[in-house]
Amino acid sequence: MAENMIQSNRLHRLVKLMMDSGEAKSVEEAQQILAQYRMGIQVRRGSAASPAYQAALLTAVNTGRRCFLGGVQVAGDLDIPLSIPWRGCSTLAEATQDLQGQIVSELPAGLPWIYFGDGIPKNTSTGFAIRPVVQGWNGGVLPACDPISFSMEETFTPAGVLAGAMAVSEAFQWIRGDSPLAGYRSVGLSLWQPSATANWQTAEPGPRLEYLPAKLWLIGLGHLGQAYLWTLGFLPYPVGSKVNLVLQDIDSLEDANDSTSLLTNSALVGVKKTRAMAAWCEERGFQTSLIERIFAGDFNISDSEPALVLCGVDNIEARRVLDKVGFKRIIEAGLGKGTQEYLALKIHTFPGSRPADQCWKSTNEGSYSPVPLITQPAYQDLLEKGADRCGLIELAGHSVGASFVGAVASTLVIAQVLRLIIGESIDELIDGDLRSSSILSCVVPNRSCLDLFNPGLIHI
């Protein structure tokens, strides 16, 4: 049993995808499949100098290396000053290498390409080449052969994170054959006016930022919580800004976290999530307070604490009491778990038309059962090798996950925060799936009469 527990904590969440789908007959075969996945990024001169496109590139490298285990190779113009903060790096090349991108003089044949730049790339031997695109608060990808030109001077970094994550999503879906349209379609979002029907390429660009949040409470520091910090960290805070973050989690980082969580690496395994994320935040210039206890409805926040909370936990009981402890605004995201749902995302804001405990039933109602998965060949192989059934059920109960999904969700969440800071209304529900060409299937505005409050502002 102990051995199975260790294995579940170490198992890459996309290796689990291969196991759960039945395409791999053993854990070893699943690992071999994922190790063959490789991706290339080509950067044309001058095309990644702006903050938004640098955020797109670094997001593509960071999310890409976590799902293309054969490596992410990057070629082109990288010896340029870094215009966004990343771990003391001074050039785009340094940041790329720090995020485990492999810089090469020329991309080898056979890789799916993510192409930064105008014009059509000269050599794409796989036939797959896509281009991340940013326009104000709008971000997405186009086929690289699309002749439409866009400004490369964009500064809204959440849209860059969105474009970079969407590019990796398309490349991953293409290499897996999940979607016949992946790489051959225009797919993106407006973060200013998210919609299930609007064309992101022609949507309003959104306003220039004048203020940023000064105080936030983050519940959960795994896949989603780290994605929130990743996107938040690229915002243009002035040097010396007093940004106060409350970080709440009880767990330590595990090997499995490296497969989905954007601020985790193997050197941090075993460190408390709160401590590891506090170190990252403080290096970024943020101030932190740590809470290492399970979030529950048995405490009330004080007037001096952040009243705006971002939640990224999959604990239903915690989510059911989010609106019971005194937060003024709550923005919460959840991701799909299984082989068909792992590309899905859903975002709620509270207060809303329904309280949180009506949005989620108790854990005993309609709960997901992992038992059918253990009939798949890879689980049966483990059983034949001596694993016990209880351990297999626990292993099967862990989620499938891809880092780029959390990155996309984070841009929608941070955009809602920024809309709130500006004084605009926010959305009560955003529902979507990265398989879909429209991405979003449902957006419901929050029409509740909400009390005004000052979440804490920093002028930029």
Is residue 390 annotated as part of the catalytic site, yes or no?
Answer: yes
Q: Which CATH number applies to 211-459: 3.40.50.720, 3.30.750.24, 3.40.920.10, 3.30.70.20? A: 3.40.50.720
Between the CA of residue 308 and those of 216, 242, 301, 303, 354, what are the distances in Å?
A: 5, 16, 11, 12, 18
Query: Where exactly are the structural domains of the chain?
Result: 37-190, 211-459
What is the Cα–Cα distance from 363 to 14, expressed in whole angstroms?
25
| Helix segments in 68-117, DSSP class H | 92-98
- Which of 67, 89, 359, 390 is an active site residue? 390
> Chain centroid to CA 100: how far?
17
The conformation of residue 222, written as its DSSP 8-state character, comes to S
Strands 113-116 and 344-350: unpaired
Same fold for the domain at 37-190 and the one at 211-459? yes
Q: Where are the beta strands (DSSP E) in 34-172?
A: 39-43, 72-76, 102-103, 113-116, 129-135, 138-143
| Coil/strand/helix, residue 261 | coil
The CATH code that applies to domain 37-190 is 3.40.50.720
Looking at the predicted structure, is the pLDDT value of residue 354 above 70?
Answer: yes
Looking at the predicted structure, is the pLDDT value of residue 458 above 60?
Answer: yes
What is the Cα–Cα distance from 93 to 75, expressed in whole angstroms?
10
Between the CA of residue 437 and those of 105, 411, 433, what are the distances in Å?
A: 34, 18, 9
| Under 8 Å between Cβ of 373 and 261 | no
What is the Cα–Cα distance from 21 to 311, expressed in whole angstroms?
29
Looking at the predicted structure, is the pLDDT value of residue 199 above 50?
Answer: yes
Q: What is the pTM of this model?
A: 0.96
CB contact set of 43 (below 8 Å; sequence gap of 6+): 57, 74, 75, 76, 77, 78, 116, 117
Q: For residue 52, what pLDDT band results from cuts at 50, 70 and 90?
A: very high
Mean pLDDT lowest for which of 95-99, 222-226, 334-338? 334-338
- How many helices (H) and strands (E) the chain has is answered by 13, 17
Strands 457-459 and 129-135: unpaired
Q: For residue 123, what pLDDT band results from cuts at 50, 70 and 90?
A: low
Q: Helix, strand, coil proportions of the chain in percent (round to 5)?
A: 35, 20, 45
Looking at the predicted structure, is the pLDDT value of residue 371 above 60?
Answer: yes
Q: What is the pLDDT of residues 53-86, one digit of tens each?
A: 999 999 999 999 999 999 999 999 999 999 999 9
**Residue corresponding to tokens 């991953």:** 172
SS (H, E, C) 17-35: HHHHHCCCCCHHHHHHHHH
SS (H, E, C) 396-423: HCCCCCCHHHHHHHHHHHHHHHHHHHHC
Looking at the predicted structure, is the pLDDT value of residue 273 above 70?
Answer: yes
* Edge-to-edge strand list for the sheet holding 427-433: 287-291, 244-248, 215-219, 308-311, 329-335, 344-350, 427-433, 440-445
